[in-house]
Structure 1
Amino acid sequence: MSDQLKLIVEKLNKEPFKRNYNLITFDSLEPMQLLQVLNDVLAEIDPKNSVDIREEMPDQTAKRMLSILGIMKYKPPGNIGDMSVFRQGLVVGSKPVIHPVLYWLLQRTNELKKRAYLSRFLVRLEVPGEFLQDDVVSETNKQYEDLMENFKIIHKECEQLKSSGFSTADIRRDITAMEEEKDQLIKRVERLKKRVETVQNHQRMLEIARQLRVENEREESLAQQKQEQKNQLFHAEQRLQRAQHQLKNMRHAAADAKPEGLMKRLEEEMKFHSYMVSEKLPKELESKRQTLHFLQKVVTEPAMSQADLTELEEKIHEVNLQINQLIENRMRKDPMDNKLSLFRQQAAIIARKKETKAEELQEAKEEIANFEREIAQKSTQARDIDGSEILRGDEFKHYVSKLRFKSSVYKKKRQELAELSAENGVLQRTEEILKQRHENIQQQLQAIEQKKGILGYSDTQEELERVSALKSEVDDMKGRTLDDMSDMVKKLNSRIAEKKSALAPVIKELRPLRQRCQELTQEHDDKKAQYDSCAAGLESNRSKLEQEVRGLREECSQGESQYHHINLMKKSVEIQIQRAADEMKAYVSPDPQERRKAIREQYSRNILEQENLGKALREKQKLVRESHGPNMKQVKMWRDFEKLMECKKSCFQKQQQASIGQVIQGGGEDLLIL
C-alpha cells in the first residue's frame, strides 16, 4: 500500500497536476477532496469530466465515474467482493476504493486517453429491437455501423502513418527543395523565352510545337487505349479458349464414359459435397464460432496480471485431474463400456481418416485451381513481354528455326565486330604514331622560325586559316538552319495532317461516346439529387430519433439516480434503526455486562470520568492560585541570592588575579637584583 501511495503522490506532483502533496497530506485528505482529485485525473483523461463535484449530486457523480471506468475497462480489486460496495465507496469517497482507482489510472494515462478518445466514436448506441423493425430506423442504424467501421479503418491507417517514420521536418525539407527546383525551372524557362524571342516567327513555331505536343499526348493516350483493348481482347480469347478446352474435355469424357460410370462419379461427388456440407463444414464453423466467442470474451476482459494467470492455470490443472478421475471411475464401474471402447476407437480412427482424406481432396482441388491461375498469369506475362501468344506445335518449331537463323546471323555480326575492333586498335596506334611525327615536325619548324627570326608565323597562318574555315562553316550553318527550319515546318504540317486524317475515324467513334457520357452525367446528377433528398430526410429522421432517445436516456438516468438515492437513504435509515434497536436492547437488558456496552452507559461513564477529572483539575488550580504569591517571592529571593553569589564570585576572581600579578612583579624585581 505504501508503494501504491508513493506512486500516486509522485504522479500527482508532476505535470499536468502539480499538487505538491506528500504522503501525510495526501493520506489526510477529506473524502470530498479525494473525490475531486479522482475527478481531476478523469478530466485529464477525458475533458468531458471537468466538473466541480460540489456542484453535482452524489448519485450523478457516481454514475458518471462508473460510466467512464466501465469504458476504461477497470476491474475492482479482489478485496471488494460486491459491486454495490464499490459503488457505495465511490459515492462516499472511501480511501480503500479511491486509492486503487487512482493507482490504476495514473499508471496508464496515455493509453486511457486514447481509449477515451476512441470511446466517443466506437461505443455502440443500443437501439431496442422493436425500434429496429422500422425500415428508416434500421437503415439509419446500418449507416451508423458502417460509419463506425470506416472510422476504425481510417484511425488504423492514421496510426500506421504516424508510426511509419514520416516527420514534418523531412516534409518541409522536401517542400523547400521542390520550391527551389521550381524557381530554377522558372528561371530556365525565362532564359529559353529570351533566347527564342530573337528568332523570327517564334510565336508561330511555338504554337506548332504546342500542337505537336498535344497531338503526341493524344497519340500516347490512344495507343494506351488500344493496348488496353488488346489486353481485354486477349483475356477474352483466353477465357474462350479455356471454355472451349473445358467443353472439349467434357465432350471427350462424355464420349468415352458410360452412363454407369458418370452416375458413379456424380454419386461420389455428391457424397463428398454432402459430407463437407453436413459434417465437416458445420464442425469447422462451430469451432470458429467458439474461438470467436472466446476471443471476444478475452477482449472484453480487463488486462490480467501474473497472479490471475497462475490462478487460471491452477484451476485448469484441477479440472484436468477431476476429468481423469471421472474417466477412471467410469472405466472401473462400467465393464461394458470397456468392450465398446475398442469400437469407439475404431470409429474415431475412421472418422479422422475420413476428415484427412477430405482435407487432402480439398487441398488437391485448391492446388489445381492455383496451378490454373498460375498458368493464366504466366501466359498473360508472356503476352505482355513480347506481345504474342503462347506458341504450340508447328508454330513453336517455326519459332525455333527462326531463332537458329537469328543466332547464326548474330555469330556472323559478332565476328565482324571483333574484326572491326581489331582494325580500330590498329588505326588508333597509327594515329598515335602520326601525332608523334607531327609534334616532331612542329618542333623542327619552330626551331627554324627562331633561327630566321619569324617565331610564331606558322601558328598565325594556321589561326587565320582556322578562322576563315570557321566563318565559312558558320555561313553554311546559317543557311542550313534556315533550310532545316523550313523543312521542319513542312514536316510538322505534314505530320499534323497525317495525325488528323488518322484520328478522324477515332473522333467519329468518340462523338457518340461523348453523347452517351453526357446522358450518363445527366442521369448521375438526377440520381445524386434523389440521393441527397433521401439522405436529408433520413438525417432529419435520425435527428428526431436521437432527440427522443436522448430524452428517454435522461429520464432513465434521472430514474436511476432517484433509485440509487432512495436506496442509500433507505440503507442509512436501516442502519440508524438497527443501531437504535441494539441500543434499546442493551439498555433494557438485565445483564450488567450488556448494559455496560450500551452507548448511553458509555457516555454516562465518560461524562462522570470527565467531571471527576474537572474537579481534580479545579482543586489543583485552587492550590496553584493560593501558593502563587509565596512561590513568586521565593523565586525572587533565589534570583537575588544567585546575583549575590555571582557578585562574590567576580570579586574573588578579581582579588585573586591582583595577588597573582603582585607575585609576578616581585619575582621580576628579584631577578633584576640578582
Structure 2
Amino acid sequence: MSDQIKFIVDSLNKEPFRKNYNLITFDSLEPMQLLQVLSDVLAEIDPKQLVDLREEMPEQTAKRMLSVLGILKYKPSGNATDMSTFRQGLVIGSKPVIYPVLHWLLQRTNELKKRAYLARFLIKLEVPSEFLQDETVADTNKQDISAMEEEKDQLIKRVEHLKKRVETAQNYQWMLKIARQLRVEKEREEYLAQQKQEQKNQLFHAVQRLQRVQNQLKSMRQAAADAKPESLMKRLEEEIKFNLYMVTEKFPKELENKKKELHFLQKVVSEPAMGHSDLLELESKINEINTEINQLIEKKMMRNEPIEGKLSLYRQQASIISRKKEAKAEELQEAKEKLASLEREASLKRNQTREFDGTEVLKGDEFKRYVSKLRSKSTVFKKKHQIIAELKAEFGLLQRTEELLKQRHENIQQQLQTMEEKKGISGYSYTQEELERVSALKSEVDEMKGRTLDDMSEMVKKLNSLVSEKKSALASVIKELRQLRQKCQELTQECDEKKSQYDSCAAGLESNRSKLEQEVRRLREECLQEESRYHYTNCMIKNLEVQLRRATDEMKAYISSDQQEKRKAIREQYTKNIAEQENLGKKLREKQKVVRESHGPNMKQAKMWRDLQQLMECKKQCFLKQQSQTSIGQVTEILQMGYREEE
C-alpha cells in the first residue's frame, strides 16, 4: 500500500495535475477531497467528467464514476469484489476503494484516454421516450435495432457454421481444450507482461528516489563541509523565529478571522427569511449607525488630544510594521514554495540529463571551477601540441640524417670488407669492434657499481637527516593537531545534540502545522458549505420576492377601480376562463341531451336506410341476371336461324 501511495503522489505532483502533495498531506485528505482528486483524474482521461463535486449530488457522482469506470473496464480487486461494497465505498470516499482506482488509472492514462475517446462512438445511446414519439427518430432507432439483430443473427450463423466445420475434424474436443488453454495462457502472458511493466516502473521510480536522496546527501555533506557551526546555529535560529512567528501570530490571526466569518455566516443562516421591508429597515439602521460613527469621529478630531495623537502615531507605526512583517512572512513562504518547486524541477532535469548521457550536472561554483580548469587545460594542451609538432619536425630531420648515415656506414663497411678480402684478413674489423664493445661495457659496469654504492650511502645519510628535521618540525604541529581533534570531537558532539534538539522541535512544529492545516482545511470546507447555503437562501429569497411582487401586483390590479387593470389581473382572467368553460360545458350538455333524445329514431332511420340499400342491391342483381339471360336467349335464337338457313 505504501508503494501504491508513493506512486499516486508522484504521479499527481507531475504534469498535468501539479497537486504538490506529500505522503502526509495526501493521506490526510478528507473523503470529499479524495473524491475530487479521483474526479480530476477521470476528467484528464475524459474531459466531459470535469465536475465540481460541491455542485453535484452524491448519488449522481457515484453513478457517473461507476459508468466511466465500467467504460474503462476497471475490475475491483481485493476487498472490493462485491459491487455493493465497492459502490458504497465510492459514495463515501473510502481510501481502500479509491486508492486502487487511482493507482490503476494513473498507470495507464494514455491507454484509457484512447478508450474513453472511442467509447462515445461504440456505446449505444439511450434515447428518451419523449423523443421516440417523433417518426424520424423512431424509424432510425428501429433501423439501428434491426441492424444489430441482423448482425447478431449473422454472428450466430457463423458460429454454428464454424462449429459444424470443427465437429467434422478428428479430436476436435482435444483441439478445443488446447485452444482454451492457449487463450488462458495468453491472458496470463498479458497479465505477467503488465506486472513486469509495473515492476519496471517501480524500479525506475526507486532508482530516481535513490538518486534524489544521494544528491540530497551529497549537497548536505557539501553544505556541512563548507558551513561552520556558528552559521548553522544562526540559520536554525532564524528558521525557529520564522516558525514561531507563523505559529504564534500569523496562523492564530487567520484562524480568528475565519472563526469570525464563520460565526457571522452561521448567524446569517440561523436568522429567519427576510422580506423587502425587513431589508429596508436594516439599511436604515446601518445608515443611522454610520452617521453616529461619523459624528463621533468629528467630535474626537475636534478635541485634538495630544497624548491620543502620539498614541495613534505609535499605533499606526505598529500596524505598518505588523503589515510589513506579515507581507515579508508571506513573501518568505512563497519564496520557500518556489524554491522547493525549482529544486524539484532541477532534480527532474538532472535525472533527465543523467538518463541521456550518464553524467551529473554541475552546479554554479562547480561549473565555474570546471570551466576555469578546462581553460587552463586548453592552454596547456595548446603548448604541448606545439611542442609535439616541433618534436615531430625534429624527429623527421633526425630520422632522415640517420638514414643517410646508415647508408654511408654500409658503403664504408662494404669498402672495408673488399679491402680485407684483398689483404686476406676478412672478419678482422668485426672481431675488433666486438672486443672494443665488450671492454667498454665491462668498464661501464664497474664504474656504475662504484657510483651506486657511494650514492646509496649518501642517500641514506640525507634521508636520516631529513627524517630527524621533519620530526622536530612536526612535534609542535602534532600537539596542536591533538588539541584541535579534541575540540573537533566536542564541537561535533555539541552539533549532534543541537541537531537532535532541532529535529525534535521541527517534528513538533511540523505536527502542529499539520494539525493547524487540517483544522484550517476543515474550516474552509465548512465556510464553503455555508457560502453555498447562503447563496441558496439568497436565491430562495429572490424567488419569494418575485412571488410576493406578483402577489402584490395581483392585489393592486384586483383592488384597482380601472377596468383595464382589472382585466389584466390573473384572477379576472381565470374567472373569465372558468365562465367560458362553464358556458361551453352547458352547451355540450344540451347537445348531449339532444343527441340522447334523437338517438333511437335516428338508429331506426339508419336501419331502414341500410335495408333499403340491401333491397336496391338485390334488385340490381336480379336485373343484371335477367339481362344476361335475355342476351343468351337472343344468341341461341340467332344460331338456330342460321342452322335453318343452311338446311
Under a length normalisation based on structure 1, what TM-score does the superposition of the two structures give? Answer: 0.30
